[in-house]
Amino acid sequence: MAKKLPKRTVVVVGGGLCAGLVSRQLTANGIDVLVLERGGDHANGAEAKLPNQRDELRWDRRQGLVQNWQRETYTLRHSRAEQSLPVRWMEAFLPGEGVGGAANHWNGVTWRWAEYDPTLRTRYESRYGKAAIPADTPLQDWGTTYGELEPYHDLFEKLFGLSGKAGNIKGAIQRGGNPFEAPRRDEYPQKPLEITEAGSMFKNATEALGLRPFPQPAANSSGYYRNPDGQQLGQCQYCGHCERFICEAHAKGTPDALLYPLLRTRPGFEIRTHAHVLHVDYDRRAKRANGVRYLDLKSGQEYEQPADIVVLAAFTLTNTRLLLLAGIGEGYDPVMRRGVVGKNFCYQTNSGVSVFFKDRWINPFLAAGSTGTVIDEFNNDNFDHSAQPFLGGASISASVTNGRPIRTQRTPPGTPRWGTAWKKARADWYAHSFGVGAQGSCYPHRENFLDLDPEYTDTYGLPLLRLTFDFRENEVRMSDWVTRKVGEICKAMAPDFMSPIAGCSAPFDTRDYQSTHVTGGTIMGAEPRLSVVSPHLQHWDANNLFVVGASVYPHNSGYNPTGPLAALALRLGDDLVRYVERPRML
């Protein structure tokens, strides 16, 4: 039997980035917050200390910081016609476990998306006409604007001590920054990271082609930094153990470094670790979330935790799963074309070309998670699509983030996979090669969605979430076009060898890491019929239930998703302060 606990004002599911940001705003106003995190605290573990922090096998290959697939995974099918199967070991994306969530082991790349991203449907329709968006592409505006989020972007960048170069300060284009950047009120809090050798080569080549490269905005701290809350960051060591690792140098902007230590000093804040939320208690008649049920993984005891307000801030996919398990809102049905929960599941359309230079020392191990040099000319709608058979685009970069030797296996085309010739190629090219990557947008498709698997369950007997997903025609065409641009840039660098120029293609392969940027499923919007949550992230079917994370994005852009997600979470914190004062539909 579940033990019933005393009621709390706000209970937050998940102890990651969004939960930390929402809690910061709430506790600053004296509001009582309880965060429930299924994993433990990594701060004093081997993962956060030298020398074992630098263990590629343990943290990277064996996924020491990632969701335990034995307990809970996802099932997948590429189309509705197929039978889904459980992904028994997921490589494609890496949800976190433990304080900080996936943001404790992220690389730190932090974009503001394009000014037009929150109004993307309006943008495309006004530029190319209503017929430009295919009927099977349910793009929708977010119901909010970049202008409304800008103050929160600014706050987040200062809290996390971002390193970068502004491209657009209050409408004035800045030399050396991204000319396509949405207007910002200030320069980045810290100067950019040091450029890599690969970055310099990419910069020279793209400038010669008339493009405008700039340093990738980074939550890796280029110097010593003290944020507005008095929390501090050390200087980045460029150790090449960033994504999939905890930063032992305290130099990566993460919730476990910058938010939770502060929150733990604030009255009214509590985080319970090893608390795995199983269920949201929902009163359908009253249209209220009464609280959550969770399992204490240390004792096996189940608890009922009532609350005035429930915030879902778990990993993207978990937010959707919890709503489906509790039957809150109508599940998306692609046949009847109704329902919203699970709709607009998107990913990231990535591709890349490897380049090899026998006389250049790339030294890939001299790198940080976000050491990248980028161009934005071919991203999203930064170029004219009127003659293109697709929508969207990609940021293109030379992002050397590490030289970890198990993962860094670049050899020229035609190299055998073992034997002396293989060893020779590894010896010849490890320090002399890198990749130029395209991180592409992924727009929603009517047939890409999430629902509960009819057969497979997690270790607690609850249905797994089922992904029905593949790269559809629009994304494949876009990637083909963008990857040819990557090829042109690579050729301009005059490498000794290049890998074949091939865009992202179906089928989606769970065996290859692509990015952890899965989005959608609980999308935001101005119309209840077309969205799960309002523009204030309030559930249309329970006004004391809020959902935050990349699950609210109606589409995924050609950028990493963290920036807008953090801005939305900070704004939600402020909205919740107003809601606590006077509960209502915001």
Partner 1 sequence: MSRVLNDGRHKMAVDQKQARARRIFLIQAASLTGAGSLVSAVVPAEPTAATAAPIPEPDTTSPLPYQSLSPDEATFIEALVNVMCPADEYSPSGIDCGLATYIDRQLAGPYGKGDGRYQRGPFRSGKPQLGLQLPLTPEQFCKAGIAAVNALCIREHGIPFDRLTPSAADALLQAIEGDHVQDDGLSLALWFNEVLYPLFIEACFADPMYGGNRRAVFWKMIGYPGLPATYTLDMVRYRGTPYPGARDPKSIADFT
The reply on whether position 239 binds partner 1 by CB under 8 A is: yes
Q: Does 356 bind partner 1 (CB under 8 A)?
A: no
User: Applying CB under 8 A, does 169 fall inside the site for partner 1?
Assistant: no
Distance, in Å, from the CA atom of 580 to the CA atom of 586, rounded to the nearest integer, reads 11
Cα distance between residue 183 and residue 269, in whole Å: 35
In whole angstroms, the minimum distance from the beta carbon of 423 to partner 1 comes to 4
Least CB distance to partner 1 at residue 12 (A): 27
Beta carbon of residue 506, minimum distance to partner 1 (angstroms, whole number):
9
Considering only 3, 4, 7, 62, the residue that binds partner 1 (CB under 8 A) is 62
Scan residues 502-521 and list those touching partner 1 (CB under 8 A). Answer: 507-511
Residue from 207, 256, 100, 230 nearest 158 by CA? 230
- Angle subtended at Cα 567 by Cα 563 and Cα 571, rounded to the nearest 5 degrees: 170
User: How would you classify the pairing of strands 372-375 and 394-399?
Assistant: antiparallel
Instruction: For the CB of residue 106, give the shortest distance to partner 1 in the complex, in Å.
Output: 19
H runs (alpha helix) in 47-145 = 120-128
Name the minimum Å distance from CB 431 to partner 1.
5
Q: Convert residues 63-102 into a mask of x (bound to partner 1 by CB under 8 A) and - (unbound).
A: x----xxx-xx--x-x----x-xxxxxxx-----------
Q: Is 1 in the site for partner 1 (CB under 8 A)?
A: no
Q: Which of residues 50 and 208 has its CB atom nearest to partner 1 in the complex?
A: 50
CA–CA gap between residue 526 and residue 35 (Å, rounded):
28
Check binding of 54 to partner 1 (CB under 8 A).
yes
Q: For partner 1, give the closer residue by CB, 268 or 463.
A: 463
Using rule CB under 8 A, residue 130 touches partner 1: no
Q: Rule CB under 8 A: say whether 418 interacts with partner 1.
A: yes
Inter-helix orientation angle 146-159/562-581, to 10°: 100
> What is each CA distance from 328 to 216, 319, 463, 547, in whole angstroms?
39, 11, 16, 12
Of 112 and 404, CB closest to partner 1: 404
Beta bridge partners of residue 308, listed in sequence order? none
Q: Can you read off the two tokens belonging to residue 370?
A: 């976000």
Q: Is 582 exposed, middle or buried (0-12, 13-18, 19+ CB in 10 A)?
A: exposed
- Give the residue among 436, 411, 490, 399 at the shortest CA–CA distance from 196: 399
CB 567 within 8 Å of CB 312: no
Residue 132 interacts with partner 1 (CB under 8 A)? Answer: no
Cβ atoms < 10 Å from Cβ of 339: 17
The pair of three-digit structure tokens given for residue 388, joined into one six-digit string: 């293109």
Tell me the catalytic residues: 517
Give the binding range for partner 1 (CB under 8 A) out of 106-114, 139-147, 235-243, 564-572.
Answer: 235-243
**At its nearest, how many Å lie between partner 1 and the CB of residue 365?**
6
State yes or no: residue 197 binds partner 1 (CB under 8 A). Answer: yes
Interface with partner 1 by CB under 8 A: which range of 2-10, 51-59, 203-211, 437-445? 51-59
Per-residue binding letters, 520-559, with partner 1 (x by CB under 8 A)? ----------------------------------------
Residue 509: Cβ-neighbour burial (10 angstroms; 0-12, 13-18, 19+): exposed
Compute the least distance from the CB of residue 471 to partner 1, in Å: 11
CA distances from 138 to 100, 152, 472, 474, 527 (A): 32, 27, 13, 13, 13
Q: Which stretch binds partner 1 (CB under 8 A): 172-180, 181-189, 453-461, 475-483?
A: 453-461
Helix (H, G, I), strand (E, B) or coil at 169: strand
Residue whose entry in the numeric block shows the structure tokens 């809601």: 579
Q: Of 50 and 286, which has the nearer Cβ to partner 1?
A: 50
Closest contact distance (angstroms) between CB of 261 and partner 1 is 23
User: Counting every residue, how long is the chain?
Assistant: 586
The residue ranges that bind partner 1 (CB under 8 A) are 50-52, 54-57, 61-63, 68-70, 72-73, 76, 78, 83, 85-91, 194-197, 200, 235-241, 249, 360-361, 363, 365-366, 403, 405-406, 409, 417-420, 423-424, 426-427, 430-431, 455-457, 459, 507-511
